[in-house]
């Protein structure tokens, strides 16, 4: 076989492999990869944000603390791990005084463990998610699902700003509450 023919054949084989690989991944492979294998719902929804869920309830925040939970499964993709790492970094760096005062904490939770499976329905988790939960006297009272994390994960500056803003707003509500006031958050499930 002539060298020119070998080169052409080699290029043809490479192009064929690339075409087959592209067909196997599909036209939205980038979006599905962006959504992460941990979150098939997000890929199925074509990476549309999960709405932030809110409701009006009454509470007294006198002795309350806030937990920033990152709920995840046992099998985790790079995107899931990146969301957790960025969210944890924002909470620990931007709210170090609140953490030191035990007003705020960051807690990762594996919802695939039998004792944690209830969180999937308790907080209506569509996939691995960041959820802010206000607790009073050790009992969960209010929560908010931060549904835009999967859309912002590949823009770390925007994700950091989003998480910081949501946590800061959650803390401000706590500070403003004196007595019983109305706020736009969901009551937490009762697990007595």
45 within domain boundaries: no
In this structure, are 62 and 157 located in the same domain?
yes
**Structural domain count of the chain:** 2
Per the structure, the complete domain to which residue 27 belongs is given by 3-35
The tens digit of pLDDT for each residue in 104-141 reads 999 999 999 999 999 999 999 999 999 999 988 888 88
Residues 62 and 26 in one domain: no
Return the pLDDT at 160: 96
> Strand 186-187 and strand 129-136: pairing?
unpaired
Both 137 and 64 in one domain: the answer is yes
Closest alpha carbon to 146 in 66, 31, 54 = 54
pLDDT for 12 = 63
Inside any domain, residue 181: yes
Cα angle for residues 104, 107, 112 (degrees, 5° grid): 150
Same domain, 31 and 60: no
**Same domain for 21 and 95?**
no
pTM above 0.75, yes or no: no
Note the pLDDT of residue 2. 73
β-bridge mates for residue 131, sequence order: 69, 145
**CATH number assigned to the domain comprising residue 135:** 3.40.30.10
**192 residues of the chain, pLDDT tens digit each:** 676 776 766 666 555 555 555 444 444 344 334 445 566 554 444 434 333 333 332 333 345 799 999 999 999 999 999 999 999 999 999 999 999 999 999 999 999 999 999 999 999 999 999 999 998 888 888 999 999 999 999 999 999 999 999 999 999 886 665 343 444 455 555 554
């Amino acid at each position: 076989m002539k060298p020119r023919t070998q080169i052409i054949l080699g290029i043809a084989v490479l192009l064929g492999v690339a075409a087959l690989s592209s067909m196997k991944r599909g036209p939205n492979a980038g979006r599905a990869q962006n959504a992460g294998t941990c979150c098939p719902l997000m890929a199925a929804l074509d990476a549309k944000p999960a709405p932030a869920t809110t409701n009006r309830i009454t509470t007294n925040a006198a002795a309350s603390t806030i937990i920033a939970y990152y709920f995840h499964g046992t099998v985790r993709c790079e995107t899931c791990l990146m969301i957790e790492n960025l969210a944890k970094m924002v909470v620990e760096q931007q709210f170090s005084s609140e953490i030191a005062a035990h007003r705020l904490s960051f807690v990762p939770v594996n919802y695939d463990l039998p004792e944690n499976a209830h969180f999937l329905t308790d907080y209506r988790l569509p996939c691995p998610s960041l959820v802010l939960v206000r607790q009073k006297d050790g009992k969960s009272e209010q929560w908010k699902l931060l549904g835009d994390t999967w859309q912002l994960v590949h823009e770390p500056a925007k994700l950091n700003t989003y998480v910081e803003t949501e946590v800061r707003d959650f803390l401000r509500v706590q500070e403003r509450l004196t007595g019983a006031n109305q706020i736009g958050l969901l009551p937490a499930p009762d697990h007595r």
